[in-house]
Amino acid sequence: MTQTTTPARPQRAAKPNGQWKIDGTTPLNANEEMKAADNGLNVRARIEEIYAVQGFDSIDPEDLHGRFRWWGLYTQRAQGIPGGKTATLSPEELEDRYFMLRVRIDGGALTTQQLRVIGGISTDFARDTADFTDRQNIQLHWVDVVDVPEIWRRLESVGLHTTEACGDVPRVILGSPVAGIAAEEIIDPSPVIAEISRRYIGNPEFANLPRKFKTAISGHPSQDVVHEINDIALIGIEHPQLGPGYDLWVGGGLSSNPRLGERLGAFVTQEQAPDVWEGVTSIFRDYGYRRLRNRARLKFLLADWGTEKFRKVLEEEYLGYALPDIGPGPQPATAGDHSGVHPQKDGKFFIGLTAEAGRSSGTTLTALADLLEAHGSTRLRTTPHQKVIALDIAEEQVKDFVGGARTLGLEAYPGLLRRSAIACTGIEYCKLAIVDTKNTTIDAVREIESRLADHNGKLPKALSLHVNGCPNSCARVQTADLGFKGQLITNDAGEQVSGFQVHLGGTLAGFENGEATLGRTVRGLKVAAHELPDYVERVVKNYSALAEDGESFAAWAHRAAEEDLS
């Protein structure tokens, strides 16, 4: 009897990922087609020569919803559209005829002259809006396209710009906000930030990446640039033979698929740093996944390759030399937000100031510039924590400056929650948002701090509260002690109301918690927006009653029983 065998089914060919070095550069989706048709940097000429002259209705849709981002411009959300419509309306139906404009501030470094120009732009063209972001930028709203050329002229007259502040490009370079002034600094990253910006920002060779690419560089021992959630990070470290340099991290990012960055175990010198940045960015450009937008971040490539292969490709294909090995550096011993008054290495002081949820105004920015100059300073820095830091204040001027800043709504000694409260733009202006964030956060923090003012039990040394209006995590909810991700929820009456999914116990590398950890979610735990103060008060008091002596909130939240977190 002859036995027959069924022929093996041919293996289905894997779909290409759109990796340029493997699959070629043929676009595999509409977004890639848009970028291939015309480099996003080229839209500036059309804005200046056509759109600013003929107005909003003259804007080509591909430019409006794509290339405008390469120059820091997004259409903002039309007023009055509820969160329930966010997922059902098209971008055209959601958008207003006005723009959010993002001023790019690499390393957060500003002069009072530059701050005064931003303040003037805000009052003249942006209805006095201004927000400090958690990526060291300043965002303005209500910008009309007809005013954009004049805004650019004013910014560029003082050395500022909006180039590649948004889009599939190298975004703003996060830098230690105390670079070059902190007495305990391991290495000053300012020259590296300046050189990367000079070589690569606005360079067409790096203006078509698979998606956004985020950079963080710090030489401060507090690791003050949230490096674990950036695509590339260079963190100050002392090599036992080679002296001060950088520890190389890659592949961090949050959104709906959070992943913490990983060390490559490679040491980078000050001189090598720009070339290493170019190598890592080139790997993303050439090997990054472009077919699916939800996988078009470096973290997905790193997850598939692993750190060993990533380092090998970097050294052999892009650098042409091996980087020295380096072990992990010490954990931070101090907080990285630089809140309060601190000595500089030159005997003067820097002062970290907190605006409520990052909210400010053009009027306030101009007044802050005046205040700084009245106290002998012409320098300041923005931070990755929606703060601003005044530099170069003489000791005898500190008390008076702190009082003057307080009258502007900028607090050097914020309370437990205000100090670390971060909120994204939210439904007020963002087309992706579902709920309000800024006002919700400001009101909740004030209420909670009032309720806890007379609490006799133990409270955390620090407590971060981050509020996001959608799942994209611009406010880093997965890395907060108390993270709130906006969504519509159903209340007991069966009504849909604004609310949040809760993330608890997230942390980046810090003096209390050691290694970075993503937050914990409790199944089914959602909080209505108006119940936010009640919930936070309840869970903080549970921590107070149940945590061990010296135990951080993040550590407690990861081991606590679910009923104590609800």
Q: How confident is the model at residue 390 (pLDDT cuts 50, 70, 90)?
A: very high
Going by C-beta distance under 8 Å and a sequence separation of 6 or more, which residues neighbour residue 544?
A: 455, 457, 458, 459
pLDDT above 70 covers what percent of the chain? 97
Taken in order 386, 390, 395, 398, is the CA torsion positive or negative?
Answer: negative
Task: Out of 51-55, 165-169, 340-344, 487-491, pick the least confident.
Answer: 487-491
Mean pLDDT of 155-160: 98
Cα 435 off chain centre by: 19
Q: How confident is the model at residue 228 (pLDDT cuts 50, 70, 90)?
A: very high
User: What CA–CA distances, in Å, run from 364 to 326, 356, 367, 408?
Assistant: 45, 13, 5, 6
Answer yes or no: are the C-beta atoms of 165 and 104 closer than 8 Å.
yes
- pLDDT for res 1: 44
User: Does position 75 have pLDDT exceeding 60, yes or no?
Assistant: yes
Mean pLDDT of 494-507: 94
The predicted-structure confidence for 452-484, as pLDDT tens digits, reads as follows 999 999 998 889 999 999 999 999 999 999 999
Cα angle value 510/516/381 (rounded, 5°): 50
For residues 511 and 63, the model is more confident at: 63
Per the prediction, the chain carries an average pLDDT of 95
The sheet carrying 73-77 orders its strands as 73-77, 95-103, 138-143, 130-132, 359-360
Is this prediction's pTM over 0.85?
Answer: yes
Cα angle value 285/289/295 (rounded, 5°): 125
Q: Give the CA-trace dihedral at 480, 484, 486, 492, to 10 degrees.
A: 170
Encoded amino acid at 234, one letter: L
The predicted-structure confidence for 85-130, as pLDDT tens digits, reads as follows 999 999 899 999 999 999 999 999 999 999 999 999 999 999 999 9
User: Does position 9 have pLDDT exceeding 90, yes or no?
Assistant: no
Q: Give the CA-trace dihedral at 294, 296, 298, 303, to 10 degrees.
A: 60
The predicted-structure confidence for 338-389, as pLDDT tens digits, reads as follows 999 999 999 999 999 999 999 999 999 999 999 999 999 999 999 999 999 9
User: Does position 5 have pLDDT exceeding 60, yes or no?
Assistant: no
User: Given the DSSP bridges, would you call strands 109-111 and 379-382 parallel, antiparallel or unpaired?
Assistant: antiparallel
- Give all domains of the chain, ordered by start, each with its CATH number: 30-318 (3.30.413.10), 420-565 (3.30.413.10)
